[in-house]
Amino acid sequence: MAGPGDLDKLSDDWSTGEDPAASSEAEADMSAEWAAMLEADGADGASADRVLNQDEIDSLLGFDPNAGGVAELTGVQALINSALVSYERLPMLEIVFDRLVRLATTSLRNFTSDNVEVALDSISSVRFGDYLNSIPLPAILSVIKAEEWDNYGLLTVDSALIYSMIDVLLGGRRVGGAIRVEGRPYTTIEMALARRMIEVILDDTHRAFEPVTEVNFKVERLETNPRFAAISRPANAAILIELRIEMDDRGGKIEILLPYATIEPIREQLLQMYMGEKFGRDPIWEGHLATEIFAADVELDAILHEIDLPLSRILNLSPGETVMFERAPSDPIKLRCGNVEITEAIMGHIGNHVSVRVARPLNPPKVTMAAFEAIDENKEGR
């Protein structure tokens, strides 16, 4: 038990402590701070547990249901498809296949004696290996050769179009709806009719390319297994053209695949903005260029003779020394512009001035347009 001295000491300790009112205020402030922290934690927890709606999920994954097939990829889908090549805009190629749509519509109507509608679905850029893996089987893959370009392409006909075309050509019933595809190989008759249709399409493709360049497409072989239709490396880029053919609620798709290496010989023509650009001329610029060329000043050098001398002889030359040239006064001299020899002339004088008289026609230029084209090709190759 504490004695009187201990009680007095304890009383002194309490008297030197903080004010009870002040300590209660500090405790209230601390409680309010803890409550605010708990509320903040609760709010963060609620936001972390919030479920994303469908629009936010589509935006995160990069899917846009309202966008077309050529929409720019975003989100996770852009990361997954980062290996895809960007489609180089070739305006003339789009004009060529628009022309093909019109030609093929007429040709297939004559071929089938039916109401055929051909539409251009899309023009896109794909990897060759990815395209082969995406072909729905069964299908007929035609390996075509562009003879003037000395390279190959693919023309794929899906099974729905094959059976629809055979049904029309062989007098089948004109029933609507999709035709059930049987899981069997194509017969000889079906392959022959499909080959005939492919030849009609290739003939129209030849006519569609005529305003741009002369090229003939030839069917090399028909394949039903994509592995046997490998005409390029899997990682190589190619242009994919999708055509949809409709015949009274029936039909299917034709896909034409042209590797970039195949269309490289006519790449400059395909980059033109309009058909007449290939043959277009600018007479105003031509006239201005001709005027400036005629008004230009050109410096000509008249070379009397050239001789090789040792450097020691040149260093020991002194005023009055004579250097002998093996030339007669009537011998022709050379006229040069820079390092290019223009023609030959005879030396003379008019009054106090030395003159030359051109003795023969000018030399033809050694540099032609073919040389400039070769230089451009070498630059593009590098």
pLDDT digits (tens, 9 = 90+) for 156-176: 988 888 888 888 888 766 655
Residue 76 resides in a domain: no
Q: Which domain holds residue 207?
A: 91-278
Euclidean distance between CA atoms 70 and 252, whole angstroms: 21
Give the separation between CA 36 and CA 30, rounded to whole angstroms. 10
Establish if 13 belongs to a structural domain.
no
Q: How far apart are CA 337 and CA 297, in angstroms?
A: 11
Tens digits of residue pLDDT in 287-331: 888 888 888 888 888 888 888 888 888 888 888 888 877 777 778
Q: Is 86 a member of any domain?
A: no
Residues 106 and 181 in one domain: yes
Query: Which residue among 230, 250, 278 closes a domain?
Result: 278
Structurally, the chain folds into a number of domains equal to 2
Cα–Cα distance, 257 to 144 (Å, whole number): 10
The predicted model gives 371-381 an average pLDDT of: 63
Residue 362 to residue 269: CA distance in whole angstroms: 36
pLDDT of residue 46: 47
pLDDT band at 380, cuts 50/70/90?
A: low
In a domain, residue 240? The reply is yes
- Provide mean pLDDT across the span 73-88: 54
- Under the banding of pLDDT at 50, 70 and 90, the label for residue 69 is very low
Q: Does any domain span residue 23? A: no
**Phi and psi torsions of 315, nearest 5°:** -70, -25
Residue 218 shares a structural domain with residue 307: no
197 domain-assigned? yes
Residues 126 and 238 in one domain: yes
Nearest CA-CA partner of 139 in 229, 258, 248, 230: 229
Residue 373: its pLDDT value, please?
A: 66
Single out the residue in 278, 307, 328 at which a domain terminates: 278
Burial of 200 (0-12, 13-18, 19+ CB in 10 A): middle
114 and 259 share a domain? Answer: yes
Residues 126 and 266 in one domain: yes
Q: Is the pLDDT of residue 334 over 80?
A: yes
More confidently predicted of 214 and 378: 214
CATH assignment at residue 361? 2.30.330.10
- Please indicate, yes or no, whether residues 302 and 212 belong to a single structural domain of this protein: no
More confident position, 254 or 57: 254
Cis ω for the linkage preceding 185 (within 30 of 0) = no
Q: How far is CA 58 from the centre of its chain?
A: 29
Predicted TM-score (pTM) of the model is 0.52
More confident residue, 52 or 62: 52
CATH of the domain at 268: 3.40.1550.10
Q: What is the tens place of the pLDDT at every residue in 7-46?
A: 555 455 544 445 555 556 666 676 677 666 656 555 555 4
Q: Quick one: pLDDT at residue 70? A: 44
The verdict on 226 and 373 lying in the same domain is no
